[in-house]
């Protein structure tokens, strides 16, 4: 019986935390339609880890068009047309899992933005469940262009480097609006592993990846219509 009350307190705490995570995002998302997020949970985590914090949000119009295009080509080819989830990619991942193969990941830019804004890094089931809850809300309340604008302004582009403007200044000593097509593709190429990859190091892997992303941007064509 002595364990009953501590257990009840723990359950109440967990339920309260879950309610906060479920309800608070709505007013914040409404604000984020016009206000840039000042911080994300990942920024706080990395700051505590001692990696610093360089975050300079700018409007999408102040970012070279090549960068958001390259980001879509790198992270989510169907971004402009899916409802927040890439169902064909998810189905493929499920089939791979059932076949005993290692999943490659099918997280969309909208899902990644939801995670960046409100959640923590990792692949635990609770985080993925909350991400699934938040993703349709981003699509409904923000829309494609604003989602992408927020994503390229909070994405991690290096140790303590967040967003296009900070990344352009840090890696290429120029503003985001001045990025070349190749520099934009190089930044998009490091997104899966920004803490260990360097967009200025002309390795064979990076050059091949840059060429792949530039070709993919040309092939996407009308699938980039939401950037207009």
Dihedral angle over CA of 208, 209, 212, 216, nearest 10 = -170
pLDDT at 159: 97
Strands annotated E in 70-218: 156-158, 161-162
What count of residues does the chain have? Answer: 228
Q: Tell me, yes or no, whether 23 lies in a domain.
A: no
Domain contains 161: yes
Domain range spanning residue 121?
Answer: 32-223
Instruction: Compute the C-alpha angle 228/85/219, nearest 5°.
Output: 45
DSSP string, 150-174: HHHHHSEEETTEESHHHHHHHHHSS
Judge whether 10 lies within some domain: no
Domain count for the chain:
1
What's 178's domain CATH number? 1.10.3810.10
Asked whether residue 95 is assigned to any structural domain, the reply reads yes
What secondary structure letter does DSSP report for 98?
A: H
- In this prediction, residue 62 carries a pLDDT of 97
Q: Does a structural domain hold residue 87?
A: yes
Per-residue pLDDT of the chain (228 residues; tens, 9 = 90+): 455 667 777 777 777 767 766 677 889 999 999 999 999 999 999 999 999 999 999 999 999 999 999 999 999 999 999 999 998 877 776 666 666 665 556 699 999 999 999 998 888 888 888 899 999 999 999 999 999 999 999 999 999 999 999 999 999 999 999 999 999 999 999 999 999 999 999 899 999 999 999 999 999 999 999 998
């Amino acid at each position: 019986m002595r364990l009953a009350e501590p257990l009840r307190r723990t359950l109440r705490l967990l339920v309260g935390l879950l309610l906060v995570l479920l309800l608070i995002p709505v007013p914040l998302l409404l604000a984020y339609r016009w206000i840039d997020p000042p911080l994300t949970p990942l920024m706080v985590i990395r700051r505590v880890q001692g990696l610093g914090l360089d975050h300079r949000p700018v409007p999408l119009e102040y970012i070279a068009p090549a960068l958001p295009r390259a980001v879509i080509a790198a992270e989510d080819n169907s971004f402009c047309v899916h409802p927040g989830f890439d169902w064909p990619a998810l189905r493929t991942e499920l089939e791979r899992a059932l076949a005993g193969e290692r999943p490659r990941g099918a997280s969309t830019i909208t899902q990644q933005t939801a995670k960046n804004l409100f959640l923590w890094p990792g692949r635990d089931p609770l985080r993925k469940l909350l991400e699934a809850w938040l993703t349709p809300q981003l699509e409904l309340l923000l829309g494609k262009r604003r989602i992408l604008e927020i994503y390229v302004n909070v994405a991690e582009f290096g140790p303590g480097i967040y967003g296009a403007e900070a990344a352009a200044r840090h890696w290429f000593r120029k503003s985001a609006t001045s990025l070349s097509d190749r520099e934009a593709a190089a930044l998009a190429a490091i997104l899966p592993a920004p803490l260990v990859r360097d967009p200025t190091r002309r390795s064979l892997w990076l050059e091949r990846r840059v060429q792949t992303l530039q070709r993919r941007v040309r092939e996407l064509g009308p699938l980039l219509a939401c950037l207009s």
